[in-house]
Amino acid sequence: MRLTAEPAFVLHTRPWRETSLLVEVLSEQHGRMGIVARGVQGPKRHVLRAALQPLQWIRFDAVHRGELARLVSAEALDAAPRLTGDAMLAAFYLNELTLRLSPRGDPQPELYGAYAAARERLRAGESLAWTLRRFERDLLDVLGVGLDWGHDAHGPVNPAARYRIDPEEGPQRVLSDRGHGDRSHAATGRALLALAADTAPSPEDLASLRRPMREVISHHLGPRGLRSWELIGEMSRVGRAAPPQAD
């Protein structure tokens, strides 16, 4: 199958053999794809190499046979967001999460749109935590494992209560009685309702989503976590406070 002028976002690039690259992209019409870009390490191919860097939006031609496609040509469609610090780490998390959870060869135009929106929010300097929580929510929806964030088993979420999030069942109210969980590590009802309505919560409520959402993501990742999480832990151990908004 030949792909022509296919839009995609570059998720990951690594060397492949002596002069080639193996590029993982999220394409608009064909979902996540692995593409071999041959002979791109020479001095005259710097424009093509630049187009194949993570977070870049490209248009490419390729021939797809078997598991990997062979790149014919590619060009950048815009300038990738210039990110530093926590924003760069957030972008790494965004790409790694997409790479780990989205299957190859499964057309997911909704995920392509969600990734495009998150990428522009990073470029615009919007709240990193809110950008990532929205993308996590949208990714779970696209994968068919999304949750009803505004309801628990008994009805609408109570904004004044706190909830843990069961990866299969959704919000579960955490009671103050001993043995029913740690309320300080649970999401506020206000945060869950904001997530359901796609309305930014207060900073305090937004912060309460981080750990419960991480537990849901961990469930779907399986036993192997994310390198971006390890980086945050390493940064914390060497004396820098781990950025709560970057994962």
Residue that is last in its domain, among 56, 76, 96: 76
Domain count, the chain: 2
CA-wise closest residue to 55 among 100, 21, 29, 87: 87
Q: Percent of the chain beyond pLDDT 90?
A: 79
Question: E strands within the chain?
Answer: 2-16, 20-27, 31-37, 57-65, 68-76, 151-152, 155-156, 162-166, 170-173, 187-188
Torsion of CA 130, 136, 139, 144, to 10 degrees: -130
Check whether residue 232 and residue 122 sit in a common domain.
yes
Q: Which residue has the higher pLDDT, 37 or 43?
A: 37
- pLDDT confidence band for 239 (50 / 70 / 90): low
What pLDDT does 19 receive? Answer: 85
Provide the CATH number for the domain around residue 57. Answer: 2.40.50.140
Check whether residue 93 and residue 177 sit in a common domain.
yes
Residue that is last in its domain, among 54, 76, 98: 76
Check whether residue 132 and residue 43 sit in a common domain.
no
Provide the CATH number for the domain around residue 229. Answer: 1.20.1440.120
- pLDDT confidence band for 161 (50 / 70 / 90): very high
Q: Which residue has the higher pLDDT, 1 or 247?
A: 1
Q: Tens digit of pLDDT for each residue in 195-212?
A: 999 999 999 999 999 999
At 117, the amino acid letter reads A
From edge to edge, which strands make up the β-sheet containing 162-166? 170-173, 162-166, 187-188
* pLDDT over threshold 90, residue 231: no
* pLDDT over threshold 70, residue 180: no
Torsion of CA 227, 237, 183, 130, to 10 degrees: -50
φ and ψ at residue 135, rounded to 5 degrees: -70, -40
Q: Tens digit of pLDDT for each residue in 86-118?
A: 999 999 999 999 999 999 999 999 999 999 999
- pLDDT confidence band for 241 (50 / 70 / 90): very low
Check whether residue 38 and residue 93 sit in a common domain.
no
Q: Tens digit of pLDDT for each residue in 61-88?
A: 999 888 899 999 999 999 999 999 999 9
* pLDDT over threshold 70, residue 39: yes
The domain of 158 spans: 83-247
Residue that is last in its domain, among 31, 48, 76: 76
Check whether residue 128 and residue 225 sit in a common domain.
yes
Q: Percent of the chain beyond pLDDT 70?
A: 91
Q: What is the torsional sign of CA 180, 184, 187, 190?
A: positive
CA-wise closest residue to 208 among 232, 228, 183: 183
Average pLDDT over the chain, rounded to whole? Answer: 91
Check whether residue 92 and residue 211 sit in a common domain.
yes
